[in-house]
Amino acid sequence: MKKVFALVMAAALALSLVACGGSDSDSSSASTPASQAASSAADSVASTVPAGGKVGVCIYKFDDNFMTVYRNKLEEILTSKGYEVTFQDGNNDQVKQTEQINTYITQGVDALIINPVMTSAAEQIVDLVKTAGIPTVLINREPTEGEMAVYDKIAYVGCDAAQSGTYQGELILETENKGDINGDGVVSYIMIQGDPENVDAQLRTEYSVKALEDAGVKVEQLDMQRGDWDQNKGQEICATDLSKFGDKVEVVFCNNDAMALGALEAIKTAGRTVGKDIYLVGVDALDDALDKIQAGEMTGTVLNDADAQATKAVEVMEALLGGKTYTADEQQIYVDYVKVTPDNVADFVK
């Protein structure tokens, strides 16, 4: 029924030559998802996608640095294509976000893009959109394959968090002493984790250290604290650990750049120098982090490409609106991470 409504709306828009988002737009082609399985399946989909339509977007919280970049790119792409798009701030409250999703359903949106507050709520979210029959793209926080498999008009677009963790570990391995600054044969680190319930946080935490261990490096975890992706919390945790463990801290792993930027302030306050007596890595390649890498104040980061993910999310949404359905082995669609080091950081600075 949603598809029929979207097609009728598209015909009306074509006659009036007025796009819902405030700019003229022609019908666009259904785009192919990133994964090989999804790409091959998408080739057989009818190419016509309705121009315009109502799209509801739920973001877990607006003041997250990375999701702000992501949200702005989504808005840019969707409005340029003639969609009427509205955004809702979940304020890191899953109950509130679930209410927002229900409101979008009541309003009769044609498609949803959802960044869940909690990955544990994925089953409930999938059930809601399936019952309403609304094509949906989940972003940034990955549900399990089983949770999505019950509905063939839903897909996840994001990155493989294990890859980002591995790249963080490799950034440390690529330093002149492989992270062992004091030469005692052990890399002693602190881990500033995002939300432990979030699969990205779990995998970045695990695989950053695993990369060192797989390379034969002995490691010692001095502390691991939950920073909730927040810059101020990153600073507080790092300051406490530096005060407690002192020069024993050789590496600070942060699950994202916001916490790494906070940790950097604590490192400076403690009189430590990144690249000399401590290493610091994050994930996201935020502009501020890129500036710090150029200045020699961060060891490196991993590009979590918000622009590419937003572009892919819209492509998948349009494929769904065009009639595409996804089998269980096609529903996870990944965009690659990229290591950012002092040697290549200039390539990423805007």
Mean of the pLDDT values across residues 197-225?
Answer: 96
Q: pLDDT tens across 13-43, in order? A: 333 333 333 333 333 333 333 333 333 333 3
The structure's pTM equals 0.72
Confidence of residue 65 (pLDDT cuts 50, 70, 90): confident
Please state, as a whole number, how many other Cβ atoms lie within 10 Å of the Cβ of residue 52. Answer: 25
First to last CA, the chain: 43
Question: Worst-scoring range by mean pLDDT, 37-46, 128-137, 210-219, 321-330?
Answer: 37-46
205 close to 193: Cβ distance less than 8 angstroms: yes
340 close to 348: Cβ distance less than 8 angstroms: yes
Distance, in Å, from the CA atom of 313 to the CA atom of 333, rounded to the nearest integer, reads 9
Mean of the pLDDT values across residues 151-174?
Answer: 97
- Which are the contacts of 53, defined by CB distance < 8 A and separation ≥ 6? 6, 9, 10, 20, 83, 84, 110, 111, 321
Q: pLDDT tens across 283-334, in order? A: 999 999 999 999 999 999 999 899 999 999 999 999 999 999 999 999 999 9
**CA distances in angstroms from 229 to 92, 249, 306, listed in the order given:** 11, 21, 16
**How far is CA 108 from its chain centroid?**
27
What CATH superfamily classification does 2-159+306-335 receive? Response regulator (3.40.50.2300)
- Residue 210, pLDDT > 60, answer yes
Q: What is the domain class of 162-304 according to CATH?
A: alpha beta
- Which are the contacts of 44, defined by CB distance < 8 A and separation ≥ 6? none
Query: Which pair of tokens denotes residue 178?
Result: 């492989």
- What is residue 145's predicted lDDT score, i.e. its pLDDT? 87
C-beta pairs of 173-176 under 8 Å, 24+ apart in sequence: 173/211, 173/212, 173/215, 173/217, 174/341, 175/279, 175/299
Mean per-residue pLDDT of the chain: 88
Mean of the pLDDT values across residues 267-274?
Answer: 98
Percent of the chain with pLDDT over 90: 81
Distance, in Å, from the CA atom of 155 to the CA atom of 137, rounded to the nearest integer, reads 5
- What is residue 63's predicted lDDT score, i.e. its pLDDT? 92
Distance, in Å, from the CA atom of 198 to the CA atom of 147, rounded to the nearest integer, reads 15
Distance, in Å, from the CA atom of 54 to the CA atom of 105, rounded to the nearest integer, reads 11
- Residue 51, pLDDT > 60, answer no
Instruction: List, by residue range, all CATH 3.40.50.2300 domains of the chain.
Output: 2-159+306-335, 162-304
- What is residue 197's predicted lDDT score, i.e. its pLDDT? 86
Q: pLDDT tens across 72-108, in order? A: 999 999 999 999 999 999 999 999 999 999 999 999 9
